[in-house]
Amino acid sequence: MSFTAVVRKDFTDVRRAKLLWFVGGIYTLFAVLFFYTGSTGENPEVLRQLWNMSGLAVLFIPLVALVAAYLSVAGERESGSIKFLLSIPNGRADVVFGKYVSRAGLVSGAILLAFGVAAALSVVWYPEVDFGTFARVTGLTLLFALAYVSVAVGISALTASRSRAMAGAIGYFFVFNVLWIQGSAFSVVGALRFVFEDTLGVSLAENTELFVQSLSPATAYLQSLRLAYPAGYRDLPPADPSTPFYLEPEFMLVILAAWVVVPLLVGYWRFERADLG
């Protein structure tokens, strides 16, 4: 019962966040823009606009999720209201997982709104709509969002102040959405090349580099989109029997699921042992 109370109260509080709705509203606005401009060409194609929404999701979904959840626990701790929240009585598990469910529900609602508007416009503006691809892209985007909400709540549960939670959220975004997914010398893969190839003289296999890059939720999401679109669309590679299982698009779902579960459990483990006095 206390878990439900935390979810209900937190959802009521966070839904008033203007910044969250502003960022989510921009994503919906871009969806309208994509589908409108795409419908005015000679060969209007829904899949092309879905592709654009998928690419934009890599930027907007982390912003929406982090804004929605990075203060979920840390904000309560800094203000002192966490003591009141834990005295109703609610356990610490109720707080962490209840916050996650409420923030995930709100972010999911914003994403469903954007894709729902896009689907409605597609029916009106396009001669043909592939609802199967539409549903798959929406589902993968929701999984990507759930992973980022988990990261944000986990960071919030690990920290005791707003400033540290903000620094953690910004740092995570910079590392996993900027440094991790590129292949330059100033990336994680570039750092591994420096350590193994330049320093130790050990050559890294291409599959190893690709797997390391896929550990980013953003890269895992982009790779998982091969499950949503027809084979060969927009240069998506067809299934290759020689591809290692850990580079298959199905395994990207495992990586995203791990990002949903692990940060939340780590945050709860740390929060359970934190001194709130």
The tens digit of pLDDT for each residue in 99-138 reads 999 999 988 988 999 999 999 988 888 888 888 888 999 9
Average pLDDT over residues 260-266: 95
CB 135 within 8 A of CB 247: no
Query: Alpha-carbon dihedral of residues 41, 45, 47, 53, nearest 10 degrees?
Result: 30
Band (pLDDT 50/70/90 cuts) for residue 183 is: low
Q: How confident is the model at residue 185 (pLDDT cuts 50, 70, 90)?
A: low
Find out whether 213 and 180 touch, Cβ atoms under 8 Å. Answer: yes
